[in-house]
Structure 1
Amino acid sequence: MSAAWLAASIMAVWASGDVLAPRSLLSISLLLVALSVLWLSVSAAAVVGLAAGVFSVVMGSAALEQAMFLVLMAGICAYFSRPPVRWVFLAAAGVWSAWYASHLHEVSAQIFVFGSMIVLLLGAYALGTGARRLREKQEQDRRELEAAERRHRESLAAERRSLARDLHDVVAHDITVIAMQAEMARLGQDDALIRRTMRRVGESSRATLEDLGRIVTVLSGDDTGHEGGSERGHRLTVVDGLEKFRLELESLGIRTRTLLSGSWEGVSPAVERSVYRILQECCTNVIKYGARGADAACTLSAEMTAEGIELCVTNSLPAQQRDERDIPFSSEEGLRNIRKRASEFGGRVEAGVTSPGTWKTRVSNLGRT
C-alpha cells in the first residue's frame, strides 16, 4: 500500500511539471523519510508526515500526495497507535486540512477540499478503528480460549490426581483385606470357618473389581454406561462406609464400634466421597499395623459439628509396638493421601500414639461442601 501511494505521489508531481523544483524534491524527500520511519514507529512517521505537510503548505507546494498521506496515516494511527497519539494526529490532520484549504482562492474550492479531507480522514480513522477492534476481539477470544484450555488441562490433572488417590485407596485397602482373609483361611482348622472366610475372600474380590471398574469407567470418560457405573453415579456415603468397614474389620477378628452423629443433610457428594476414602485409608492402616487376636479393637467415629465434619479412628497396637517409634510403617503414602483429601476441604489431620498401645487418627474441620 505504501509503495502504491509513493508511485502515485511521484506520478502526481511529475504530471504537475514541477518535479525538479527544489521545494517539490524536498517535500517528496520528507514524505520518503516519513514512509521509512513508518516501518520503525507509527508515532514518529506521523510526526514526520505532519512536518512534511506543514512544509508543503508553507512552501506553496502542497499537493494531493500530502493530503492522501495524512489520510493514510489517520487509518494507520487508528489501527496501531495508542489513544493519545491517534487522537492528536487526527486533530492535527484536521487543522492541516483547514490550513491547506484556506490557501485556495475560491471559497467553494476551500469548502469542497476541507469537507472532502474531513470525510476522508474520519473514514480512514473509522476503518482503522474497526480493524483494530476486530484484532483486539480476536486476541481476546484467543486468550479466553487459551485460558479455557488451561483450566481444562488443570481440571484433568486434578481429576487424574484424585483418581490416582482413589486407585491407591481401593487397591491398598481391598487387597489388604483379601490377603488377611486368605491368611486366616490358610491357618484355620475349622472347615466351617475356612468356608466362611473363603466366601468373604470372594465377596471382597468382587467388591474390589467393582471399585476398579468404577475408576476405569471414569478414566474412559463413560459414566453413563450402566447403573452405578462410576463413582459419580454410585455415591459413596458415610453410612455405607462405616457399615462396610465395620464388617471387614470384624471379619478379620477386630472388634469394631462405629459412631455417627449430627445431621449429614446438605453434605456435598464430593465431601462425602472424600470422607469415605479417608475412613477407608484409616481402616487399611488398622489392618496393616493394628493389634491381632483378643486385644484387637477399633472405633470408627464420624461427627457433624458446628465447626464442620470430624472423623476419628482409634485402634489398638500390637504389644511389641507400644510407642510410635516402634510402628514399622512401610510407607507414608496413606497418611499423605489422608492429609491431601482433608486439605481440599479445609480439614486438619492429627495422627499418632495418644496413649501406650493406642493409635489415633483424627480429621477435624472438614467443610460440608
Structure 2
Amino acid sequence: MLDKRFVESQNSTKVGHRDLEEVVSKIFVAAGCSTFEASQIAMRLVDSNCTGHDSHGVVRVTRYLKWVREQKLVPNQTPEVLFETESIIAVDGRRGFGQTVAPFALRRGITKAIDQGVALVGLRRSGHLGRIGDWAAMAADQGLCSIHFVNVNGHVLVAPFGGTDRRMSTAPIAMGIPRSGEFPVILDFATSLVAEGKALVSLKGGKEIRSDALIGPSGTYTGDPKALYGVTPHGEPPNPKNGPGAIRAFGDHKGSGLAFMCEALAGIFTGSGSTGSKNVPDHQLWSGMVSILFKADTFIPFSMFSAELAQFVDFYTGSPRADADVEIKIPGAVENENRIRAHKSGLRVPDEILADINAAAASLGITERI
C-alpha cells in the first residue's frame, strides 16, 4: 500500500530513470560541464526524484542553467584544499557544482575517518549541494556514521520563530548510520517546514505543500507558493526572491534554533558565510557544509553495534500503529523503497517540469526529448 505521506501528482508522466538521466546529462554537457560532471549532476538529480524527493530532483535543471549563466555556478571547478591535518580538511568549492565538489571533500574526509577513527570536513563556497542525504549515504557505505550541517548564504528564505520576514536559509541537516547487509539509516531534512524545492514543485503542478508552510508579511499562514515566488514573468524560471512571504521553520522554536546552528556551523565556522554575512556579495549564492565522520566501531565491535541496532529497529518499528494505513519506518526506509520501485517501473514527473526540461534541451540544440 502506498504510504499516505507520499502521494504522486495526477498531472504527471511516468518516465524511465535512465532515459531522464541521459537527457539531463546532455543538457549539462551542452551548458559547459564535462561529461563526467554532467553525468554526476544528472544521476544525483534523478535519484532524488526516484527517492521521492522531487524538491531536489530535475525541477532544479532550469534553475541550475540560470545560475550557470549568472556565474553563480561555475562548471568544471577543481576544489581548493585550504588546509588539512590527519583528521581535518577544509575545502573551497569555488562555486562548483555540489554534485562534484561535495564528493571531492567527503572522499578525503572518509579516508581520514577510516584511518583516524574520526574526521572533520569543512566545505565552503560550494554550489547547490543537492540532497544532503546523499553525502550521509556516501559515508555509511564506507562503514562510517556522519552528521552534516548545511546553509546557503545567498538563499534567504526562512523566517525565525516569532518573525515574519526571511532571515535564514532552509538549513538542512543529515545524519547517517551504516547497517550490516541492509540499506543505511539516513535522516535528512530541512529545518524549514518545507524545503524550498517542494514549494517549487507545488508551483509547477506537483504535490501541494501544507496550508501553513509559508507566512506572509502580516503574519498570516498560507500554502500558496506564490507567496514565495510572486508572479513569474513568461519564459523565466520562478525566483523565490520575488515573493513577499517566507517559509516557516518547522517545530516553532526548535526548528528555528536548529536553523540558527546550521547558519553558524556550516556558514560562519567554515568561512562560507551566514545569511546575515556582510562579507558575501549580494549577487553570489553558495553553500557551506560541515561534516563530522566517525567509525561505527569506535567504541564497540561493529558486530555488536550491528546487532544492537537491529534489535532497536525491531523495537522501534514494532510499536502499535496509530493509523493502520501508515507503516512505522526507520529513517531512509521510504526513500529506499521508492528508489527500488522507480528503478523497476519508472518514476512520475509533473508534466510542467518535463516541459521545462524539454524546452531547455531544445534551446541548447539537443534533439532528444522526455
TM-score by length of 2: 0.22
More strand by share: 2
TM-score by length of 1: 0.22
More helix by share: 1
Larger RCO: Structure 1 or Structure 2 (Cα < 8 Å, ≥ 6 residues apart)?
Answer: 2
